[in-house]
Structure formats: C-alpha cells, structure tokens
C-alpha cells in the first residue's frame, strides 16, 4: 500500500446527472497520519445477515469430524473454495420462537424475541441485531443499513396460525413496533445506491436517455484517474466494471420483460425470471454497497417462510413449503437438501467474489462478517433447535475460520448476536434471551 501525505476524503463521491457514485477504499484515501486507522489490523467493520426459510436437512448439513472443518457436509460442499473463512455452529436455538411456527422462525432469527400473537396492527417483536449494529457502525455511511429480499410482493393480513404477515415480510426491525420493509427489485436497489430513483415511467425514460449510469461521470472519472496512483486506477476500473455489469444485467432483464407477451402482471420489469439469477444479482448489489462504503450493515432474506417457490432447475418442481413437511419421507428430505445446497451455492459464489475484491491491504471478505442460517431446525416439526447456522468472514475480522463449534446442549442464537455486536464495538449486557457469548469464534483482538 502507498500512503499519501495528502489524501482524498474517504467519503469522496463522483457526481453525475441525477446520481452520485461513492468510491471504494483507495490508497489515495489513506494519509500517513491516519494510516493505522485503515490498516487490516483495524478495518472498517461490516456485518451481513442472510436468512433461509424452513430449516434444513440436519443430517446433510452437519459437518462430519471434529472441531476442525476438514470435510464439508453435502449441503455445505459448495463452500469448499472459502472453507477457511467459514465457522459452523451447531446446537443454537430460538426458545422465544415457540410455539413453533413459520412466522416466529422468520421474526425470531435476528431479534431472538417473542412475537406478540396478533392478527392486527398491534404487533410487537424486538429491535433486531442488525439495527442495533446500524446505530453504532451505520452512522458514518449514507445508508445506515440495507434491507433486501428476493420475494417481490409482501403478504397482507394474517399469514399463519393467527400471526400477522408483518412477521414474515420483515426480517429487520428498528424497534419492537417498527418493521423495516425490504426491497427485492434490483433496479430500485441500484438507484437507491447510485441514483435518485423515481416512478417506473421515469426510470424507463432515464434508461432511454443514457446508455449507462457511468456516462454522466465521465469527466469526474477522468480527473480522478489522473490524480491517483497506478494501483488505484486499476481498483477504480474494476469497481466501474462491476457497476457496468450490473447495469447490463438489469437492462437485459428489463428488455426481456418488456418483450414478454405472456400475461404476468405481478412480475415487475427488470427482475430476472430465474431465482438463481435474481438472488445472485442481489448479492452483487450487496458487494457494491459494501465496496463503496455506502452501508456497513445488510440483511438479505432469500425467501420468506411459507414460500411456495419451486426449483425445477435443480430437480425440485414441487413447492418448497409443502415439501418441507416431509414426515421423514426420504424423497422429500432429499429435495429439501437440494434446496438447501442450491441456496448455499449462491451464497458461496458471493463469498468468492468478496474474497476476490480488493479492500485496503486485503480483500472485502477479509473485512466483512456474514451470518447465514435459518430460524427453524426441522421444518417438518416446526422446531427451533439445532438451527443451521454458519458465520463467514476474513482474517482482519479475527474470525477463526475452518472450524466447527458444536455445543453439547441447546444454546441461544442470541449469544451469537451478542458476540457479533461485541465484535463491531457494540457492547451490551444482554440481547434477547442471551446467557453469554460464543467462546472461541474470534481471536481476542476486536475490530
């Protein structure tokens, strides 16, 4: 790394027509006097949370062997390339999510709180771990947090067992009575990160008026490239290439949607038709948001509980929810495992991209922590024990990867939330039903 005596501000933006573009961390942003604040020993803390619905096939999720993650289980096998960045934690539970329901699986995942049983608007849960973190590490960024999903249409009314749908629709809550809606439309997320947004007609007019968002930044990009060093020029160009590729994907999806004559009024223009393409694009947007330091806290709901999404592309044409009530039918259990493996393969590709993205003296994965898992264990029993949970992160976070932490008895998932909060500098006496922390997950030196 080259340390400059006079640095660009960390919050440097390029300004175009109707948009601003944040930049990734460059060498030119690190002055000699403050270099220690940006080195891998003291990285900018970033936290991400990924929710998968309806539990897992525990037998195919559970890693074989002991504490060292020498061998991955069938479901976890897509993580082979980033195995040293993964720690699996077994025997975590959500006791406040009982009586076991899909609604409380969804709502308890990040809150570890009891969801008030109501069909009306007097719902009550708890502030979720991501929002506690955002109050501390999100105040230095343009967006304190980013809430994303793949399900486009929120459910309304009562969803299941007398619980209001708000518990399934919203993974993130800024207070016990304030759920934060997530966004599933890639174009809207992209414009929230880099543009002013607008109505559908305004967005389409904007597309017609310019081939690329980056066209309007041409002069600023040129000036920037003339004042930074060679390594920064490469880093900026890689970042801009990522933006161009996401633009291309969104525009391709919009064009395909506009040309589709089949009646499909519920699918907005610009959303990839295939689940895998949609989810991967949402992960790419997360990478850009983290790389440009637009936000440092992200939640992503793959799909909600009770999802009836089908996965014919992996040999599961049956809806997910009915299949999850497998009753130990080996055919249905195998199909649930296929869904689990498919979901984690998309997450694995995202981690590989984080690992390949420069950030400071290391990679974006080096400076990021992601929690991945579900609020349900065995979906056929609607239980909330033996949750499928893993933590991914890089060396600078202090995560001791390539490991399997297995508790002999049930341990609150809230202990993990407490540990993650402590890692990013948020020190609480308790969270949810916590009774301690996850010992040995991180090295002793905090971020």
Q: What is the pLDDT along the chain (447 residues), one digit of tens a residue?
A: 333 444 566 555 555 545 566 666 666 666 543 443 444 444 578 999 999 999 999 999 999 988 999 999 999 999 999 999 999 999 999 999 998 888 899 999 999 999 999 888 888 999 999 999 999 998 888 888 999 999 877 666 566 777 888 898 889 999 999 998 899 998 888 878 876 545 556 555 555 554 566 666 666 777 777 777 777 777 777 777 667 666 666 665 566 545 444 333 333 346 788 999 999 999 999 998 998 888 999 999 999 888 899 999 999 999 999 999 999 999 999 999 999 999 999 999 999 999 999 887 789 999 999 999 999 999 999 999 999 999 999 888 889 899 999 999 999 999 999 999 999 989 999 999 999 999 989 986 554
Count of beta carbons in the 10 Å neighbourhood of residue 156: 10
Q: State the pLDDT at residue 248.
A: 63
Domain boundaries, the chain: 1-38+189-270, 40-184+277-447
Class of domain 40-184+277-447: alpha beta
Q: State the pLDDT at residue 256.
A: 52
Q: State the pLDDT at residue 232.
A: 73
pTM of the model: 0.80
Q: State the pLDDT at residue 31.
A: 56
Cβ partners under 8 Å of residue 64, min gap 6: 71, 73
């Amino acid at each position: 790394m080259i340390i400059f005596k006079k640095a660009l501000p960390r919050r440097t933006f390029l300004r175009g027509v109707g948009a601003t573009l944040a930049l990734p961390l460059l060498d030119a942003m690190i002055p000699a006097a403050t270099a220690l604040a940006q080195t891998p020993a003291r990285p900018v803390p970033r936290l991400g949370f990924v929710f998968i619905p309806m539990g897992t096939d525990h037998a195919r999720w559970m890693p074989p062997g002991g504490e060292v993650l020498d061998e991955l289980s069938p479901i976890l096998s897509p993580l082979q390339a980033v195995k040293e960045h993964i720690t699996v934690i077994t025997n975590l539970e959500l006791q406040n999510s009982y009586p076991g329901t899909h609604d409380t699986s969804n709502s308890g995942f990040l809150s570890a709180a009891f969801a008030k049983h109501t069909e009306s608007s007097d719902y009550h849960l708890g502030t979720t771990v991501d929002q506690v973190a955002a109050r501390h590490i999100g105040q230095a960024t343009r967006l304190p947090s980013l809430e994303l999903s793949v399900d486009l249409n929120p459910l309304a009314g009562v969803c299941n067992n007398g619980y209001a749908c708000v518990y399934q629709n919203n993974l993130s809550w800024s207070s016990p009575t304030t759920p934060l809606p997530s966004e599933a439309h890639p174009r809207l997320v992209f414009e929230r990160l880099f543009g002013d947004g607008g109505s559908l007609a305004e967005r389409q007019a904007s597309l017609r008026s310019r081939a690329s968002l980056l066209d309007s930044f041409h002069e600023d990009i040129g000036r920037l490239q003339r004042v930074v060093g060679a390594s920064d020029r490469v880093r900026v160009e890689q970042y801009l290439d990522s933006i161009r590729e996401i633009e291309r994907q969104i525009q391709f999806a919009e064009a395909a949607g506009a040309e589709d004559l089949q009646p499909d009024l519920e699918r907005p223009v610009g959303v990839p038709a295939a689940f895998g393409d949609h989810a991967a694009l949402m992960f790419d947007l997360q990478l850009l948001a983290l790389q440009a330091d637009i936000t440092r806290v992200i939640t992503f709901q793959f799909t909600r509980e009770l999802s009836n999404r089908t996965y014919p592309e992996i040999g599961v044409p049956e809806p997910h929810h009915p299949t999850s009530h497998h009753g130990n039918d080996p055919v249905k259990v195998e199909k649930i495992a296929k869904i689990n493996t498919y979901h984690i393969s998309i997450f694995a590709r995202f981690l590989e991209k984080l690992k390949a993205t420069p950030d400071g003296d290391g990679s974006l994965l080096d400076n990021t922590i992601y929690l991945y898992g579900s609020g349900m264990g065995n979906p056929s029993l609607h239980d909330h024990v033996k949750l499928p949970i893993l933590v991914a992160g890089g060396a600078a976070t202090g995560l001791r990867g390539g490991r399997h932490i297995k508790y002999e008895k049930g341990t609150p998932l809230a202990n993990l939330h407490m540990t993650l909060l402590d890692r990013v500098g948020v020190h609480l006496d308790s969270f949810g039903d916590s009774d301690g922390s996850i010992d040995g997950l991180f090295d002793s030196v905090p971020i």
